[in-house]
Amino acid sequence: MNNLWSEHVQGIMTLYLSRKLRFHDYFAEQYHNIFKLDKNDKMKILEIGCGPGALAEALHRWYPNASITAIDRDTNFIEFAKKNVAGVEFLEGDAGALLFEDNTFDMVISNTVQEHIEPSAFWGEQKRVLKQEGVCLCLSARKGINCKSDCLEMTEDEKQYWDDCPDWREQMDRLQICKYPMTEAQIPKSMEEHGFSNVTTGYAIIDLTPDDPKYSENMACQMIEAMRQNDLEAVGQNQISGYEKIKDIINRKYDKRLEMYKAGYKQWDTSVSVTMIIRCNASK
């Protein structure tokens, strides 16, 4: 049983809801243009470090004939995914020692996982389980834009709560999170150094702006709820004294934000994520 990530780094809803939006069908064309995969292919796909399963869920919609397996070492994520995501086989497993035989998959994919795993194990295992010329897709979150509505700014009580919490950076170091960060230039270079060929790069830009009329009410509300869950789970990971009060403050702020949205009182708050996608082939 390993619940390190879901209990100390990012909660189930933080990852599931944010990724459900990031991999929403509204944005699918951006991914298809870079993935360059046949939508009808009966390929075997492996997702590494799948978290609660939102990317695997999107892959099942986008490639209905594919057989998809997804692994993560966090038990809570895998249990959640098994109950909530259909059409995918979810397994607990370590990316550094994959449970599969050599030459098993046509495509392997990961989203925001590379920076946490030692590169020769991370790339070496993907190359090993890929078939000759199989496709490796590495998705990596880069610097985006975050602009909050005034009604969501941190209150003095919340600031005090965070000041009283254990230092976040120290915890990340202790848990060895993000131990192998790479720049936009280093990731493709590292893949080439580990024997991948035909490397190409691209970027998916996902703009989440609830007030933009191009988004339906349903999608706008999903954006606001995803932010609420992110904030609630973040404080929930440090349940020090005052936690219940802070939870109430957060809920009231997001209730207000939803009310403003529904009343047409525009805030134009936005969150733009930039995902770098590196695509290459396994040459053996």
Ligand X SMILES: C[S@@+](CC[C@H](N)C(=O)[O-])C[C@H]1O[C@@H](n2cnc3c(N)ncnc32)[C@H](O)[C@@H]1O
Residues of span 46-75 touching ligand X by CB under 6 A = 49-51, 54-55, 72-74
Rounded to a whole number of angstroms, the minimum distance from the CB of residue 233 to ligand X is 13
Q: How far is CA 45 from the centre of its chain?
A: 17
237's tokens: 């990971």
Rounded to a whole number of angstroms, the minimum distance from the CB of residue 16 to ligand X is 7
What x-and-dash track marks residues 6-45 binding ligand X by CB under 6 A? ---------x---x--------------------------
Strand arrangement of the beta sheet that strand 130-147 belongs to: 89-92, 67-72, 44-48, 105-111, 130-147, 270-282, 196-208
**Do residues 49 and 113 touch, judged by C-beta distance below 8 A?**
yes
Residues of span 79-118 touching ligand X by CB under 6 A = 94-96, 111-113, 116-117
Rounded to a whole number of angstroms, the minimum distance from the CB of residue 121 to ligand X is 8
Rounded to a whole number of angstroms, the minimum distance from the CB of residue 197 to ligand X is 25
Residues 6+ apart with CB under 8 A from 70: 46, 47, 50, 53, 56, 81, 88, 89, 90, 91
Q: Annotate 38-64 with b (16+ C-beta within 10 A) or e (fewer).
A: eeeeebbbbbbbbbbbbbbbbbbebbe
Q: Does 235 bind ligand X (CB under 6 A)?
A: no
Rounded to a whole number of angstroms, the minimum distance from the CB of residue 61 to ligand X is 16
Choice between 22 and 44, CB closer to ligand X: 22
Q: Which residues are near ligand X by CB under 6 A?
A: 5, 15, 19, 49-51, 54-55, 72-74, 77, 94-96, 111-113, 116-117
